[in-house]
């Protein structure tokens, strides 16, 4: 099951005045990968991968984009 929420309380120390995206909580499944999740959440967005990575890491400072843990909730940028 995929879970999406827009609870902004989880990133209170992130400077939300500079956000150009919404924040989505996403619970990963087995075999989920960073890029596939980003593409699923932002199918029409033309943003470079460095921006995706930078924003994701700002929202999840301890996360490793190359080894996302299954059944864990991460914050992902949802670009407009």
What per-residue confidence (pLDDT) applies to 44?
85
Domain 4-79 class? alpha beta
What per-residue confidence (pLDDT) applies to 46?
84
Closest alpha carbon to 11 in 27, 22, 3: 22
**Which letter does DSSP use for residue 40 in this model?**
H
What per-residue confidence (pLDDT) applies to 80?
79
**Structural domain boundaries of the chain?**
4-79
Q: Are 39 and 78 a contacting pair, CB within 8 Å? A: no
What per-residue confidence (pLDDT) applies to 16?
45
**Which letter does DSSP use for residue 42 in this model?**
-
What per-residue confidence (pLDDT) applies to 47?
85
- Which residue positions in the chain have pLDDT lower than 70? 1-19
Q: Which helix (H) or strand (E) holds 22?
A: strand 21-27
């Amino acid at each position: 099951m995929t879970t999406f929420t827009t609870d902004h309380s989880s990133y209170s120390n992130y400077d939300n005045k500079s956000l150009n995206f919404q924040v989505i909580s996403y619970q990963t499944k087995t075999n989920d990968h960073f890029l596939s999740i980003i593409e699923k959440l932002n199918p029409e967005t033309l943003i470079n991968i460095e921006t995706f990575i930078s924003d994701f890491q700002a929202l999840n400072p301890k996360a490793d984009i190359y080894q996302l843990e299954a059944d864990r909730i991460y914050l992902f940028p949802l670009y407009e």
